[in-house]
Structure 1
């Protein structure tokens, strides 16, 4: 109906991209987008993502959401997340992981092989470097373990969603501490922008998160 308000769309995302999803929501004026997140620490435990997503979608359905979008790429689930998406008739972000969709899948396809020995960081990982890497790996107590954990990497690549000198400094210092060459790529939000735009615009024709054929 012309002038009707769009139904709510729930994005169930990785906690590592929560800030970015909200930024894109504001950028695109997606007032009908709601967000809930699974724990960011599942980045290190990909086996937990699919079952947690299954439960989260079931919960969202019970709360009345008909339109759901999964704010994850495959993220190390080995196709298990796709099975959950198929089970519930929902879609997810395309690609193998957020490092790919931030760069854009076409751009990532061109550099993926060259980056095989690179350690990626994002805005989130810069903000949480101490909490996600230094303390859990014990590097604050045993800096000599750097070689064991990062010895096979050659470069640290900071995929920057924003221009923040403080985050740049964190990434540069991390590369120095880990003994890696440093590269900064300004990616912005990459494919997250068209991904969320498509997920929310398709509500109008009933293609996203619908159980009905």
Structure 2
């Protein structure tokens, strides 16, 4: 399977720095967005993006196009994010606490509620088995189709469907007791 990214990667391996720049411009926004959605922290997402691209550069001289470059990079990014989530400390940084707040400010309340919802989702995802968490994240957060997820995870489409269905059920069960606290009681 040959794609334009693979051609650019091969050119980079041969010493073409412009090819590397083109790949960075093309792939880094997607890698950063994926890592940011999975981790919820821009600084950590940027670290993951750099590590994923470094791994791509190290692979360039021996690249074997068994998969598309973007598919390979999605897999590497997802694995790096899952490793980071496993290792992440459960401490809250003082920087995560909002500065000045006015009691009852609707914007502040909405912002805190959205952050609480995202945090609950990240925690629930972290509790899922790794393959379920990855399939659910790629399908419902990244918006990828089942065939693309199958390629990224190196499994069949039926396995993706099974993983996402089981993952959705597990997330629903994990989050059902938190509906009221997260502001979903009336929905």
TM-score between the two structures when normalised by the length of structure 1: 0.24
Q: Which has the higher helix share?
A: 2
Q: Which has the higher strand share?
A: 1
TM-score between the two structures when normalised by the length of structure 2: 0.27
